[in-house]
Structure 1
């Protein structure tokens, strides 16, 4: 409950959100959305959603996102959903029509028991971003790289 209150204060509500459970169902469908992970390289290396493409947060203001279908469903995420909301805003400005933000980010995804992977396969490791944010990660093994 406190996590949801925190997110209400942090989100600008400029990008529609998708709950973790709904995204898990969509990822099991024949035509899943494109996943864009907008964290740091270290966070992504520790773990990410299977099939997610890495987008460095520092590059979102200038990246053209060339070659991506503007009509394809896209779900953006970061640790809690704030950085990904910024990416969602940028994608909307570039003409993407179906962009959603994973509500609660990777933390909510893992807290609800959904799987993450690293370069070798399934893992329980999760980068908690910082000591300030780590208390919101209730499941998984906290790993700072």
Structure 2
């Protein structure tokens, strides 16, 4: 995979050394006005029953490292297919979507959220900063490794990790 600006319209270029994960998070919040949870909030949610975590990355990314219990979804899954496969299990639960930086997962949360809400009470959110932020903050459960998505996003991940005093 390679950085494709047309798929990331509105996001800062991760190849720019001045760009931080916080810049990307801010752009995603602006572009996709869905509820977001921080890694700290997700950590608490995962410790309680009633949360379903969907990992919106490719199979290759998922294989490198994912949170225990995460259900992998193809980023291009159609809303109807998602509801048919997972809708019944989402009612009355907290649903969190995650990907590398939060873009693919925010798009999916925005797309399927209304369909899930039509089925009954549900809370849908996106993991702010995605698994890059989770990994950088060394949240528990720890990820053994993390796929960088591509070289451009990998350089952003490296800068993010260097900026974290806990790593």
- TM-score when scaled to structure 1? 0.81
- State the match for 1:49 in structure 2: 67
Cα RMSD for the two superposed structures: 2.0
Which structure: greater strand fraction? 1
Q: Which has the larger radius of gyration?
A: 2
Give runs of ≥4 in structure 1 deviating > 4 Å: none
Encode CA deviations 1:37-84: one digit per residue, 9 max, x unaligned: 011010011111111001111224452423323331101000000000
Q: 1:125 aligns with which of 120, 130, 145?
A: 145
Distance 1:111 1:75, change over 3 A: same
Matching residue within 102, 113, 117 for 1:81: 102
Distance in 2 of aligned mates of 1:2 and 1:69: 33
Cα distance in 2, alignment partners of residues 123 and 103 from structure 1? 17
Query: For residue 105 of structure 1, what is the aligned residue in structure 2?
Result: 130
Q: How many residues align?
A: 133
Distance 2:41 2:27 in 1: 23
Q: Which runs of 5+ in 2 are unaligned?
A: 1-18, 162-167
Distance 1:72 1:32 in 2: 5
